[in-house]
């Protein structure tokens, strides 16, 4: 009975659908937390762009990184390279049509973020060629966490800023966006540590920071819809601590690390 859900989750991960799911969910959740109703195509556009980014990243990893460092997702992308490239064509066309509908301010923000994302890809994969040299200490997990969190929060941030003609000092997104960035950093750090079999000091420290920050901002969000997203963030950080103590293999924990970021779904179901 467990074969079907296990296979479904495995291919959710191998087909690079995990990160787009997380990005689209949090994009929608940020909108709800800010009392906004974002157009449904905005999370969809974010999901398509995120998928393209991760496919490119994994294909480059498969070709440029040392064979010993590759994980199943990299090998899967390399084996099915042609199909991923074929699928990227309609995805790119659909994304282009959605981008054309974006407000100018949001489009400009994503263009700037896109430039930084391309710089990230260049530096990370140059590091693969220059391992052990000057780029060996490039903070990969921290940078991708910032890029991912920014991409997820931009639609709600831009809409709130345009409606209020500037972001008020007490706006809930000013509290929730940094908290989500810490969660993304925690996610990337956990995956890296589990796959490289490192000690869990960084993971536990970041989990503690996320839980503490979430608990600290909850009083400021009392009687506001944003409090549910802060609760979801605290729950996600707590799940990482449980996963670190679990008996799952690194591959299973890798999938569970993205599942742990889907906690906004639980909050919606409970309301």
How does pLDDT run along the chain (271 residues), one tens digit per residue?
Answer: 345 578 889 999 999 999 999 999 999 999 998 888 899 999 999 999 999 999 999 999 888 877 777 889 999 999 999 999 999 999 999 999 999 999 999 999 999 999 999 999 888 877 655 554 545 566 788 999 999 999 999 999 998 887 775 666 567 888 899 999 999 999 999 998 888 777 667 888 889 999 999 999 888 887 888 889 999 999 999 999 999 888 877 778 889 999 999 999 977 665 5
Distances (CA, A) of 149 to 65, 215, 261: 25, 20, 12
**What is the value of pTM for the model shown?**
0.91
CA-closest candidate to residue 151, choices 20, 262, 41, 257:
20
- For the CA atoms of 241, 245, 248, 250, the dihedral, rounded to the nearest 10 degrees, stands at 70
Sorted by sequence, the CB contacts under 8 Å of residue 152 that are 6+ apart come out as 22, 23, 26, 27, 30, 46, 180
Sign of CA dihedral 124, 126, 132, 134: negative
Report the C-alpha dihedral over residues 137, 140, 143, 149, rounded to 10 degrees. -160
């Amino acid at each position: 009975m467990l074969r079907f859900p296990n296979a479904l989750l495995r291919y959710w991960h191998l087909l690079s659908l995990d990160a787009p799911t997380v990005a689209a969910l949090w994009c929608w959740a940020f909108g709800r937390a800010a009392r906004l109703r974002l157009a449904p195509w905005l999370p969809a556009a974010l999901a398509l762009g995120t998928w393209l980014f991760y496919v490119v990243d994994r294909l480059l990893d498969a070709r440029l990184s040392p064979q010993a460092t590759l994980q199943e997702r990299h090998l899967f992308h390399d084996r099915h390279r042609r199909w991923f490239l074929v699928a990227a064509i309609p995805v790119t066309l659909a994304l282009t049509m959605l981008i054309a509908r974006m407000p100018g301010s949001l489009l400009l923000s994503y263009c700037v973020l896109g430039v930084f994302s391309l710089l990230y890809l260049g530096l990370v994969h140059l590091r693969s060629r220059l391992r052990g040299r000057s780029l060996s200490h490039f903070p990969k997990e921290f940078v991708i966490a910032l890029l991912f969190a920014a991409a997820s929060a931009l639609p709600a941030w831009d809409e709130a800023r345009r409606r209020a003609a500037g972001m008020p000092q007490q706006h809930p997104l000013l509290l929730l966006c940094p908290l989500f960035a810490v969660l993304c950093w925690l996610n990337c750090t956990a995956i890296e540590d589990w796959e490289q079999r490192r000690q869990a000091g960084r993971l536990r420290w970041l989990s503690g920071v996320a839980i503490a920050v979430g608990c600290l901002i909850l009083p400021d969000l009392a009687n506001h819809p944003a409090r549910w997203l802060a609760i979801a963030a605290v729950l996600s950080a707590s799940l990482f601590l449980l996963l670190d103590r679990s008996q799952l293999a690194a591959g299973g924990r890798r999938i569970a690390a993205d599942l742990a970021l889907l906690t906004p779904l639980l909050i919606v179901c409970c309301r």
